[in-house]
Amino acid sequence: MSRGAWLRRLWRLSTGRFGIVVVIVIALTAAVSLVWTPFDPQHVDIAARWQGPGWPHVLGTDGSGRDILSLVMSGARTTVFVAVGSAVIAGIFGIALASLGALTARWVRESVAVLVDILIAFPVLLIALMISAIFGRSLWVVIWAVGIGFSVNIARVARPELRRVLHSDFVLAARASGLTPAQNLYRHLLPNIAPVFIVQLSWGMAVAVLAEAGLSYLGVGASVTEPSWGLLLAELQQFLTVHPLSVLWPGLAITFTVLGLNLLGDALREATDPTLSRREKHEPVVVA
C-alpha cells in the first residue's frame, strides 16, 4: 500500500480523524505557548484567586491567582517535549534491540530474546517511577525512563517482523548482490517494518504523556518550575470539592491527549494492515 493510500485510509477512519485532530491541536497549542499565552503562567495575583471561567480568565484562576488557560497551554509544551523525546529514544533503542535479536548470531538472538522477555514483565510506568526516584525529578529523567522502558515493547514487536522480512526474496537478492547487513537493514528491512514501527511509536507517545503526568502528580516528574498538567492536577486536587472546574481542565487535557494518541495508533494499525484492507473490500484472505 502506497503512502498516499494509507494516509487517505487513515483519514477515512473516525478514530484516525480524531487522533489527527487531537495531535494537531496539542502541537499548535504548544507552539503558540512558546511565543504567547493570555497571561504569564507563573504570575501570582492574589486579588484574582479562584475566579470562575469568564473574562479575562477564560478557564478561571487557581489559588494563587494564576491563569489556568495559560498553565494548560504551557503544559502542552512539556507534554509534546516528553512525548517526542521518549519516542525518539524508544525508537533508537527498540530498533537496536530488534536488530540484535533478528540479524546476529543465534546465541546473541536468544540472549536478546530472554532479556526482552524479562524486561517486558515490568510495566513502563513502574520502570519510570524507579528511575525517577533514584535520579530525582527532572523531565529528562522521565524522557529517558519512558523511552528505555517502552523500547522493549518496540523490540518485542519489531523483532519477528524483521525476521519475516529477512527471508523475503528481495532481501536475499540484495544480500547476494553484496549489500552488507547494515545496508540491508537501512534500505530494505526498516522501510518494510515502518508501519508497525510507527504504530508502536504512537502508543509509546501516549504512554509517555500518561507517565509524565502521573510522575509529576506523584512529585517525581517535572520540577515545580516547569509547567506540567500532572503537577497542576496535584496542586488543584485538594480543592476538588470546592472548585471542581479548576481540576477539570488539566484532567481533560491529559485524557484527550492520551485517548487521541491511542486511537491514532489503532487507526494507523488498521490503515497500514493489508489484511484489514482486503477484508474491507470483502476480498478473501488466504492464511498460510
Task: Read off the pLDDT of residues 58-101 as tens digits, 9 standing for 90 and up.
Answer: 999 998 899 999 999 999 999 999 999 999 999 999 999 988 88
Instruction: Summarize the confidence of residues 158-182 as an average pLDDT.
Output: 83
Instruction: Summarize the confidence of residues 245-263 as an average pLDDT.
Output: 94
Long-range contacts of 213-216 (CB under 8 A, 24+ apart): 213/79, 213/254, 214/125, 215/128, 215/129, 215/132, 215/137, 215/142
Contact in structure between 73 and 133 (CB atoms under 8 Å) = no
Residue-level pLDDT at 205:
94
Residue-level pLDDT at 275:
56
Cα–Cα distance for residue pair 9/276, rounded to 1 Å: 11
Cα–Cα distance for residue pair 278/282, rounded to 1 Å: 6
Residue-level pLDDT at 282:
43
Residue-level pLDDT at 244:
87
Residue 138 or residue 209, greater confidence: 209
Angle CA 241–247–250, to nearest 5:
170
Residue 170 or residue 82, greater confidence: 82
Cα–Cα distance for residue pair 89/70, rounded to 1 Å: 29
Cα–Cα distance for residue pair 16/184, rounded to 1 Å: 32
Residue-level pLDDT at 60:
92
Question: What three-state secondary structure class fits 2?
Answer: coil
Which tens digits make up the pLDDT trace of 9-53?
888 999 999 999 999 999 999 999 999 999 999 888 888 899 989
Cα–Cα distance for residue pair 215/206, rounded to 1 Å: 14
> Which of 27-31, 75-79, 166-170, 234-238 shows the lowest mean pLDDT across its residues?
166-170
Checking if the pLDDT of 169 tops 90, the result is no
Which tens digits make up the pLDDT trace of 187-208?
888 888 888 888 889 989 999 9
Checking if the pLDDT of 283 tops 60, the result is no
- Which stretch of DSSP H or E encloses residue 68? helix 68-103
Contact in structure between 226 and 105 (CB atoms under 8 Å) = no
pTM of structure: 0.86
Which value, in Å, is the radius of gyration of the alpha carbons in the chain?
A: 22
